[in-house]
Amino acid sequence: MDYSETGAPRTPVPWTVRDMVYAGLATIGLMLVGFILLAIVAFALGIDVQDPEQQALVVFAVFALEALMIPPVWWWSVRKYGTSPRILGLRGFRWLRGIGLTLLGLAVILAINVGWSWVMERFGLEGQPDLVPVFGEGIGGFLSALLVAGVVAPVAEELFFRGFLYAGLRDRWGLTAGLVVSSVLFGVIHLTPGVIFPIILMGAVFAVLFELTDSVWPPILLHALVNGLAVVGLYANAAI
């Protein structure tokens, strides 16, 4: 029996592997529908994707579609089994311990990124695309990138990959298999071959933090810090 940091037995999650597969397929379906609707709206409004300002608006809407990961998670967990959102890790945690572990996780991830930067430079690998041209320069582009990368993505991805997927796989297949499989899938969905490995490692750090705090909020905070620092760094570098 696993125990939470409060000392009380951790309640096993009720959803099955089939539920997780259905939620994943539903998420893909929702995103495809979202892309199609965005394309129709952009065409109907005569949005010129060659115009930097209008292009940035479309890009923001595309990235914001990550929020569509949340409804399938809710449907195949809270609604289907009549549980509280707390089952997804939406619960409190010991602040001092949680913040300390979050900062430790940040140090680990920064070390991973530094090490992988050396590997990319050594072997000529391509990293993630530069967000500045994608979202546009200036304060508007910066705030848009910060919102989707530092708020939308951390909340949606942590609820899906840690609160739902990792927790479900952990209770069905064991902690190690749950951590490995959820982290690998987390890396793969980012669709950037040159940085899949470090993203997998970051997913593992998020999962460990979730496991140690029994709450999804510390991983969300850590994820937001990592993405937010990356956005600030990119825009600061572009301004030099």
Predicted pLDDT of residue 88: 97
Helix axes 52-64 and 138-147, enclosed angle (nearest 10): 10
82 falls within a domain: yes
Predicted pLDDT of residue 1: 44
Which of 13, 53, 51, 49 minimizes the C-alpha distance to 162?
Answer: 13
Q: Which residues contact 184 (CB under 8 A, 6 or more apart)?
A: 200, 203
Spatial contact of 111 and 182, defined as CB atoms under 8 Å apart = no
Contacts of 111-115 spanning 24+ positions with Cβ under 8 A: 112/198, 112/201, 112/202, 112/205, 113/198
CA distance 76 to 66: 17
Predicted pLDDT of residue 2: 55
The tens-digit pLDDT sequence of the chain (240 residues) is: 454 554 456 789 999 999 999 999 999 999 999 999 998 988 898 887 677 677 777 788 888 999 999 999 999 999 999 999 999 999 999 999 999 999 999 999 999 999 999 999 888 888 777 888 888 888 988 999 999 999 999 999 999 999 999 999 999 999 999 999 999 999 999 888 889 999 999 999 999 999 999 999 999 999 999 999 999 999 998 887
Predicted pLDDT of residue 232: 95
Percentages helix, strand, coil for the chain, rounded to the nearest 5?
Answer: 80, 0, 20
If you count DSSP H runs as helices and E runs as strands, how many of each does the chain have, helices first?
12, 0
CA distance 16 to 140: 42
How distant is the alpha carbon of residue 197 from its chain centre? 15
The values of phi and psi at residue 3, to 5°, are: -120, 140
Task: Give the residue numbers spanning the domain of 57.
Answer: 17-239
22 falls within a domain: yes
154 falls within a domain: yes
1 falls within a domain: no
9 falls within a domain: no
Predicted pLDDT of residue 5: 52
11 falls within a domain: no
Q: Note the pTM of the prediction, 2 decimals.
A: 0.93
CA distance 65 to 41: 14
Spatial contact of 105 and 209, defined as CB atoms under 8 Å apart = yes
Burial (CB count <10 Å: 0-12, 13-18, 19+), residue 167: buried
60 falls within a domain: yes
Which of 102, 110, 128 minimizes the C-alpha distance to 215?
Answer: 102
12 falls within a domain: no
Predicted pLDDT of residue 126: 80
Report the domain count for the chain. Answer: 1
